[in-house]
Amino acid sequence: MADDTTANSLITRFKFQKLLNTTQQGCRIILQGTISDKPALLLAERGAFSTDNAYLQSFSRLMSHVKNLGENDIYRWCLANSMSENTVDEPTPADLKINLIYPCTEKHIRKYSFQQARVVLETPSIYSTYIRPYMQLCREEGRLNWVFNILDGKAEQENVLFRSKEAKADDDFLLLPDLNWDRKTLSSLHLLALVQRRDIWSVRDLKKSHVPWLRHLRSTLAATTTTLYPGGEVETDMLKFYIHYQPTYYHFHIHIVHVNTEASGTQAVGKALGLDHVISQLENLAGGAEAGMHQVELSYTLGENSELWQQVFAPLKEGKTPAVAGE
């Protein structure tokens, strides 16, 4: 007689009653149910990907039911299935969120490769002498073309969730889903607000004079987000607003995430600055309207493969003059 207490036997007899929670951005679920009329909890999470070379060689061919979510320039993102029992008529829910960068650059390869992190302290002097010129070079190289394509209505318009109509055109913004959100799990909601104005490259450009605009923007973003997702799962006090420094691209944007979204590396100290904290810091800076974030020290993390570490902070650590500098 088969042992009714083995894991395989017990799990197959589990009768689902209720979803208690989802964590790790939907990769872990906790189910309440019964086994032989006794209460039971089933906690399941997706296992780690195999790093076996044979598996990786065939990985892209194992995916099926690839559903395109959007594309812009060299970036494409989609959902896919890895379950072998999928059928054409009734596929199981997509279990893979895929981002494709093609053709990618050497910078992309460096960014996504494992690299030792370093904590750096960017002083106002380092910012003005080295970092600001670096930002300028990035913008001149056309790295923001995909952002401007969205703002100008030339690409990815099917992904724009909201485009504002403010009294001043420079105050306008648009909302779109972050590439890493599956667009359906509200507890892991992650939106991006791209501002229309192009004079603010990063948090460093924010000044005291921008405080009224920032407060209005935050209030409008909160109201707009809750309107987009009615039903009580997204309320204003369930939203977090933060800014990256260093950001991935030098055009001012704000991240909006559900408070239940587990804080990943992109929300960690050394990467994210809370919008409310930045506004308060601006208000309390000494000086007039032109006082701003360009005057403060900012500490953050960089990977050793990043251009900023290799071109600026590694040379400074070694007592050398960085290659990136202003005129």
175-208 pLDDT per residue, tens: 999 987 888 889 889 999 999 999 999 999 999 9
Residue corresponding to tokens 């707009």? 224
CA distance 196 to 244: 18
**Helices 275-283 and 211-228, packing angle to 10 deg:** 160
Pair 205, 128: CB distance under 8 Å: no
Which amino acid is residue 303, in one-letter code?
Answer: G
Phi, psi of 314 (to 5 degrees): -65, -45
The model carries a pTM of 0.79
Nearest to 214 by CA among 301, 277, 302, 129: 277
Domains in the chain, please, with CATH? 7-45 (no CATH), 53-101 (no CATH), 114-317 (3.30.428.10)
Which amino acid is residue 278, in one-letter code?
Answer: V
Mean pLDDT of 103-127: 89
Whether the per-residue pLDDT at 1 is higher than 70: the answer is: no
* The pLDDT of residue 85: 54
CA distance 128 to 278: 20
Q: How many CB atoms lie within 10 A of CB 38?
A: 7
DSSP one-letter code for 83: -
**Beta pairing, strands 75-81 & 96-101:** antiparallel
- pLDDT tens for each residue of 66-111: 888 877 778 887 888 876 654 555 556 777 878 888 888 888 888 7
User: Residues with catalytic annotation?
Assistant: 253
